[in-house]
Amino acid sequence: MTADARARRFRAYRKGHWSERAAAVALMVKGYRIVARRHRTKLGEIDLIARKGDLVAIVEVKARRTLAEAMEAIGGQSERRIEAAADLWLARQPDYVRLSVRFDMVAVLPWRWPVHVENAFQGRW
């Protein structure tokens, strides 16, 4: 890997962390409690897991120039990966039976407050 490629990769990594922090703040302002960040499983990663009462929001964070670009960035393969990781996380929760699950997205756009899109895609629930 060239030095230029490493530098680009590092900038993207830092932007991803910053975007996830911004998304977490936006959700907390709306009354959500962040219970996990960058939750990794053998099946995939969930950017943020937020709770508001019995509602669990599985949140994908996308930093893009426009909301449309952010929405398009979540493809079918991403959805399946997120759902599989969510299944594993939910199975470990003691109050699993009373939880409602929703798959959301937070779009982090330049010079704007992060946009929270509820039900960005439908899981199997």
pLDDT digits (tens, 9 = 90+) for 26-45: 999 999 999 999 999 988 89
* 34 located within any domain: yes
Please state, in angstroms and rounded to a whole number, the distance separating the CA atoms of residues 58 and 30.
Answer: 15
Contact 90, 102 (CB under 8 A): no
* 113 located within any domain: yes
The pairing of strands 115-117 and 100-108 is antiparallel
Give the pLDDT confidence of 72-96 residue by residue, as tens digits: 999 889 899 999 999 999 999 998 8
* 124 located within any domain: no
**Domain of 56, in residue numbers:** 3-117
* 122 located within any domain: no
Contact 8, 99 (CB under 8 A): no
* 123 located within any domain: no
Total domains present in the chain = 1
Per-residue confidence band for 15, with pLDDT thresholds at 50, 70 and 90 = confident
* 15 located within any domain: yes
The SS3 assignment for 36 reads strand
pLDDT at 67 over 90: yes
> Can you tell me which residue has the tokens 């952010």?
70
* 56 located within any domain: yes
* 16 located within any domain: yes
What per-residue confidence (pLDDT) applies to 123? 63
CATH number reported for the structural domain that contains residue 20 in this entry? 3.40.1350.10
